[in-house]
Amino acid sequence: MQAENSTKNINLIATMPLFEGVPLNVLHWVNERCEIVRVFAGQTLLDPARHNDAVYIIISGFAQVRNPGQDDQALAYLMEGQCVGEMSVIDGGQPSARVVADTDCRLLVIESGTLWELIGMAPMVARNLMRTLSSRLRYDNEVILESLRMQRAFEHDARVDPLTGMHNRRWLCEMLDRQIQRCNISGEALSILMLDVDHFKHYNDTHGHLAGDCALQAVAQAIRGGLRVADTTARFGGEEFVALFPGVDLAAAHGIAEQLRQAVREHPVRDFQGRPLPGVTVSIGLTALAPGQDRDQLLNAVDAALYRAKHAGRDRISE
């Protein structure tokens, strides 16, 4: 940093938000006690690894608040009239972030001892400082809330299939692990079905992939309409869907599966303009959790049952 040799401008200091409402005699005192320095673009003003003992008010130029981590990403930009360093002066701790001059800057430097004297002389400075800190906290809260919103959106996208709105395979596997653990403890039955749209590749090849998407949406709607609130459904991948039936034995699950098979067969398929498309049928594999089975073994068992249903002619249920 280089100190300026020119006369400090009291009128300029008076325009800074920190000095709003401060008497002129106090501004003269600040002019005498505080130095205006020049820093060049790229110079570091604050660093978490370095003790700070001053507040810096930007008179001209811009600065960046950067992530102290390895990526050194810019978190915020500071402009004329804004100050930095006040937190570490107030609490005596290290700076929480790195602040770097984005352009050549002129800074008013208020040493910590001078700041406390100034607050004693002019309580308006404390009021203005509280406003600054309050706006920082408000901004930080908004950033946190936006970060949480984005996190929830990412979590949602990671577990929900965007085409059908059903949960996806990742979510199902997590849920299945919990259901198996619960049923092993309680001794409750757990049935599972795996459903596959018959001749789906031919449907896509004949009517187009957009029509295939509409058919998958129709299947998902039919499945959702035929299940209890306690039942769990997911798009397992491609044209395969899975449903879990906690507390339902294999015989009762077979009845539910038959209702779903009929519901899909009867459910209309329409394109995105509402025009009718050919309907589809499904093959269903069905099984129940056996003692000692884990998630992969249960999925392999129901997949084998699905293969038998398809091998037997499709549009049917196999256990």
| Candidates 35, 155, 174, 239; catalytic one | 239
Rounded to an integer, what is the distance from CA 249 to the centroid of its chain? Answer: 39
The reply to whether 188 belongs to the active site is: no
Query: Is the distance from CB of 88 to CB of 99 less than 8 angstroms?
Result: no
Q: Which of 252, 195, 194 is nearest to 228 (CA)?
A: 252
- Contact yes or no for 295/180 (Cβ under 8 A): yes
CA distances for 223 relative to 185, 206, 242, 316, angstroms: 29, 24, 10, 15
The contacts of residue 102 (CB under 8 Å, 6+ apart) are 41, 61, 62, 63, 64, 77
Nearest to 317 by CA among 289, 292, 282: 282
**How far is the C-alpha of 282 from the C-alpha of 266, rounded, in Å?**
11
* Tokens of residue 317, six digits: 């249920």
Helix axes 123-159, 112-121, angle to 10 degrees: 120
Q: What residues act catalytically?
A: 239
